[in-house]
Structure 1
């Protein structure tokens, strides 16, 4: 992605997002406190045997837990939210989820009550697009929570090698973390829990689609540069997809082993459980990382109407120029859903 193009989008967000008198959101009512939460993951009700088997592999026993709010990392939101992952990997560092909270503000810059969006970042180590989306959606009037996926940010472990088995475990953990994040967010002050959405980009889109398909926990779902048939994407996709393929092949998960590895997390197995009236997919026509055909496959599996599958004249990187449009479109989609409710 051209640096100049990315810089222009960031500048646009900076110019239109913050009034001259804006100041940091005051979350003193939350920082330093712990808020009790409970898993609301619904019982599995699924007639299709394959989908039911997939769901059993992704769900976890419901329990009570706590969402703890801490002071933010410098330049990374207004607060930091921590809670235990429902899936354990044997690492205390990785198994404690971290979310960057960007608080919705009123015209005076004070934190205010508003709906929330869980933002799931892309595969880049800097989580740059995820943070860009979180900031942009906050500026659309929502509380946003950019969740740091396993192995990223505060959960990163420098000495742990990622092999095929750990890859699968971390994706399963990511899906569970995103769904539990919904319940952690619902327990926080200022969050209007009547509408909590999820937005995911690229890798985050795969995770978000599976997390949203577990049950009806999320009120709206927005998937950017994502799709279905992970095996096909890894076998034929370029750039990031090719890099993942090489790493998996090096650890013995190439050829016939690849479909067996990724089948437990394949979105197409459960995409029919997404609400087609409240799910939107944004695909790049010239995307060579997650090709358009894979976006179409997911849209068809989820039975999305044409107006819910937006096709952008872009590839996986130049799609950044559409972010201002996507941000506005997400706000309009949530507002429409709230009016229906």
Structure 2
């Protein structure tokens, strides 16, 4: 079932309203230093799905779990407190692209000291500036959570000579799915982060990635998908604006119709939607969205069997939905406490 939301507060209030974190005498007194390294290990589940198509999809997305290193670097101005780097589980042969980058916005109390708190990984939209992603990262951090903005392949610190080439868009999403899942194991390896529940939030492009991650296994305890859904090939072939731009670029290099469907099939969220923990996923779609048509979001909600109240239909299109972000941020904060 869908329901509507009303904007009740200003975005400025959400981004500037600090809350007190809950201290713990047993937590460290500082975050890792620049240059420090930490060790982590993949916890990816490798169960067998009885559905043949789903199992084929899982085999294509999974990697062999391994130990890996987290490297701490200085954050850029207004880009969090620390920059975390780690190797992508998927080796494309491009060292710049395969060195995953994630901005850590540390939860702090009123005295600006780091505190123990739950965490949310933020998966940004397709815009190069990752503007909406940073709104979520900063807004949820202001609400007392640790937040981590992951740079998807070809974005931010992962830009290289192949970045932006349309032929790598869909294959890049496969790597993104692996990176976002590994990010959870990065987060729980850090001091101050409470391990019991880690959330993930994705918008538009990031929402499609997040939807598939939610079906990969149940590593994330809370999942929030904004302006995305399923039937990725249909979105590329019939969506307007951003989707139409991608479609035109693909057509320019001879990729059309059934080829688009075949390229998107390995990362299609609906193939794994029945595996999603429906009680802990919330989907926000735009009633007038012509980039990701409502049918895409409804398809995911139906395939995942989302309970009443878990699919929220906003009275907005793909871009005007930004006015709902303050309320969505507060709603995510509440659900992270449940």
Aligned residue in 2 for 1:250: 252
Aligned residue in 2 for 1:209: 211
Cα distance per residue 1:50-78 (max 9 Å; x no partner): 01101110000111101112111111011
Aligned residue in 2 for 1:154: 157
- Secondary structure in 2 aligned to 1:272? helix
1:60–1:215: structure 2 CA closer, same or farther, 3 Å change rule? same
Match of 1:117 among 117, 120, 141: 120
TM-score, structure 2 normalization: 0.91
User: Does 1 or 2 have the higher relative contact order (CA < 8 Å, sep 6+)?
Assistant: 2
Match of 2:80 among 77, 80, 96: 77
Match of 2:63 among 57, 60, 69: 60
Shift of 1:168: 2.8
In 1, Cα distance between the equivalents of 2:166 and 2:328? Answer: 35
Shift of 1:28: 4.4
Shift of 1:13: 3.5
In 2, Cα distance between the equivalents of 1:131 and 1:278? Answer: 23
In 1, Cα distance between the equivalents of 2:231 and 2:119? Answer: 29
Match of 1:285 among 284, 287, 293: 287
In 2, Cα distance between the equivalents of 1:13 and 1:142? Answer: 13
Structure 1: any 5+ residue segments left out of the alignment?
Answer: 1-7, 20-25, 337-341
- Secondary structure in 2 aligned to 1:228? coil
Cα distance per residue 1:57-108 (max 9 Å; x no partner): 0000111101112111111011101000000111110000000101111121
Shift of 1:236: 1.1
- Secondary structure in 2 aligned to 1:307? coil
In 2, Cα distance between the equivalents of 1:36 and 1:30? Answer: 14
Aligned residue in 1 for 2:304: 302
Aligned residue in 2 for 1:191: 193
Shift of 1:126: 0.4
- Secondary structure in 2 aligned to 1:117? strand
More off after superposition, 105-114 vs 8-17: 8-17
Match of 1:94 among 94, 97, 118: 97
Mapped contact 1:285–1:314 kept (Cα < 8 A): yes
Aligned residue in 1 for 2:5: none
In 2, Cα distance between the equivalents of 1:30 and 1:329? Answer: 33
In 2, Cα distance between the equivalents of 1:86 and 1:119? Answer: 18
Matched residue pairs, number? 322
Aligned residue in 2 for 1:49: 52
Q: Please tell me the root mean square deviation across aligned C-alpha atoms, in Å.
A: 1.7
Cα distance per residue 1:149-186 (max 9 Å; x no partner): 0000000014556243x223211100000000000111
Mapped contact 1:149–1:155 kept (Cα < 8 A): yes
Cα distance per residue 1:100-125 (max 9 Å; x no partner): 10111112111111111110000000
In 1, Cα distance between the equivalents of 2:30 and 2:256? Answer: 48
In 1, Cα distance between the equivalents of 2:319 and 2:292? Answer: 11
Aligned residue in 1 for 2:142: 139
In 1, Cα distance between the equivalents of 2:330 and 2:155? Answer: 28
TM-score, structure 1 normalization: 0.91
Structure 2: any 5+ residue segments left out of the alignment?
Answer: 1-8, 21-28
Mapped contact 1:44–1:55 kept (Cα < 8 A): no
